[in-house]
Structure 1
Amino acid sequence: MKNEKNIAILKDMAESVRTCMFTTFSAHDGFGSRPMGTAKIEDDGSLWFYTNEYSPKTKEISKDEQVLLAYSDPGKNTYLTVKGKAELVDDAVRKEAYFSPFIKTWFPDGIEDPRLILIKVTPEEAEYWDASASKIVVLFSMLKAVVTGDTPDLGKHDTIKF
């Protein structure tokens, strides 16, 4: 039951933003991040992305499967990081099921593009901050903390495991 709750938090926060900074590691270049749109989040919490099979990130994933995804929605004051293991998947059924016209921008031949491959990220741990109360409520909490010397209540913060 706990894992279902954690997956629900992950899905809710990541689906509301859709685009994350996808960070990989290369022994030669160190950390590398790039914005990537989330194609699908499955019920088991796995996150799926489209990419070019010959991109630097696929080489990095082939050598080091650990990745970090960072989702941010400053307008709602919500933030999510996901640590997980990435793998390259060439699955025609999923390519078709998760495809959207937006992907066609990078892959004009659609799911038939020979460079098109999927990245599956299996989450291991996530950390989130959710202060989605109105900015007035957050500001009031901060001002109250200044006056009382207490710590302001800026919403929920937790680390969750999968």
Structure 2
Amino acid sequence: MSTENLNNQEAIEKVKEMVDKIDISMMCSFTSESDYPHAVPMSRQEVDDGGNIWFLFSSESETYRNLQKNNKVSLLYAHVGDYNFLSVNGTAVISQDQERIDKYWNKMIEAWFEKGKKDSRIRVLKVTPTDAYYWDNKSNKLVTLMKIVASAVSGQQLDIGREGELNL
């Protein structure tokens, strides 16, 4: 696996590409009451041009309560079938921006909020990445496994992917 650190716009594009492909992250929030993070699956709504990752969630959630005390989050993305992984650490800002709620509203979100777009529990979460790291396979799982076997048999080191820091 080769190392390829990306900076600025290239890093933002890589985050966007991977988050759009994987979609669901395990969002980890933190609280002083526990030594361990609280992790929940979250579907992104958008990765904007600045690399910020946007979500809709409920003010009744444990994540919301944790973010009131500590605005640090970690987002962990995994597409096991293609061996693509992304780890993002960042800071969270919560709002009730109705324009964003309207923009992101869909049938999936509707299932969580029975009162619709005007539900007072809906919150908009903006995660601004502070650092990120990725592991990106250059091909699908089958091709990767074949390359690993070929490498083991031939003794040659084959490039099966890349990893690196994303400096946003």
Q: Do the structures match in fold with TM over 0.5?
A: yes
CA–CA separation in structure 2 for the residues paired with 1:140 and 1:92: 50
CA–CA separation in structure 1 for the residues paired with 2:75 and 2:140: 26
CA–CA separation in structure 1 for the residues paired with 2:58 and 2:140: 40
**1:9 lines up with 2:7 in the alignment:** no
Q: Which runs of 5+ in 1 are unaligned?
A: none
Question: Residue 142 of structure 1 aligns with which residue?
Answer: 148
User: Between Structure 1 and Structure 2, how many residues are aligned?
Assistant: 162
- RMSD of the TM alignment (CA)? 1.8
Q: CA deviation at 1:4?
A: 1.2
Q: CA deviation at 1:53?
A: 1.1
Query: Helix, strand or coil: the match of 2:160?
Result: coil
Q: What's the TM-score once normalised by structure 1's chain length? A: 0.91
- Read off the aligned partner of 2:125 and give its amino acid letter: I
Q: CA deviation at 1:119?
A: 0.9
Query: Helix, strand or coil: the match of 1:75?
Result: helix
CA–CA separation in structure 2 for the residues paired with 1:134 and 1:39: 26
> Which among 98, 104, 107 is matched to residue 98 of structure 1?
104
Query: Helix, strand or coil: the match of 1:147?
Result: helix
Question: Residue 46 of structure 1 aligns with which residue?
Answer: 52
Higher relative contact order, structure no. (Cα contacts within 8 Å, ≥ 6 residues apart): 2
CA–CA separation in structure 1 for the residues paired with 2:141 and 2:97: 44
Q: Between the two proteins, what is the percent identity of the paired residues?
A: 28
Q: Which runs of 5+ in 2 are unaligned?
A: 1-5
